[in-house]
Amino acid sequence: MDDFLMPANLMNKPARLRLLLIGAALALSVGAAHAAGDVKRGSDVFAEQCAECHSVKEGKNKKGPSLFASLGRKSAALDGFAYSDAMKASGIVWSADRLAAYLEDPKKAVPGGKMKYDGLPDAHAREDLIAYLATLR
């Protein structure tokens, strides 16, 4: 009988180790898939939380700057948008981690910034939103 079909307490030590390693690999892959965020859900989060003030079209600013190609971009870098002095002075480059901190609490991340948004407290929604924004190139 194949070791993988036997109950764990009846398996030999190498078979139990293989099973444990397979389980760990599966758990990590599921965690990594979620950590990357879900683009479709991120699109929905954008529509619900951001679209009133931000566009995803290149060069189209609204109340807030366009979020097209925002990941990897330096803060306050788009021509034609009137950024706050605080955002201009922040020196932020929008990595996923910096964007996550900003989305969680914009007023804490950039004190004196002018974005009128209290933040997105749901970590999974932030991951999804960032995954969506990463597709905008």
Are residues 49 and 27 located together in one domain of the fold? no
Are residues 29 and 53 located together in one domain of the fold? no
| 131 in Cβ contact with 33 (< 8 Å) | no
Are residues 42 and 103 located together in one domain of the fold? yes
Check pLDDT > 50 for residue 28: no
Specify the CATH number for the domain of residue 43: 1.10.760.10
pLDDT band at 29 (very low <50, low <70, confident <90, very high): very low
Are residues 61 and 128 located together in one domain of the fold? yes
Check pLDDT > 50 for residue 27: no
- CA distance linking residue 20 with residue 4, whole number of Å: 11
Are residues 107 and 57 located together in one domain of the fold? yes
Are residues 56 and 100 located together in one domain of the fold? yes
Task: Kindly report which listed range (10-19, 42-51, 54-63, 112-121) carries the lowest average pLDDT score.
Answer: 10-19
Query: What are the distances in angstroms from CA 28 to CA 14, 34, 87, 95?
Result: 21, 10, 37, 23
- CA distance linking residue 37 with residue 30, whole number of Å: 11
Are residues 28 and 92 located together in one domain of the fold? no
Q: Per the structure, how many domains does the chain have? A: 2
For the chain, the straight-line distance linking the first and the last C-alpha, in angstroms and rounded, comes to 53
- Per-residue pLDDT tens over the stretch 58-92: 999 999 999 999 999 999 999 999 999 999 999 99
Are residues 92 and 25 located together in one domain of the fold? no
- Backbone Cα Rg of the chain: 21
pLDDT band at 112 (very low <50, low <70, confident <90, very high): very high
Are residues 21 and 74 located together in one domain of the fold? no
How much is the mean pLDDT over the chain? 85
Domain residue limits at 9: 3-34
Are residues 117 and 130 located together in one domain of the fold? yes
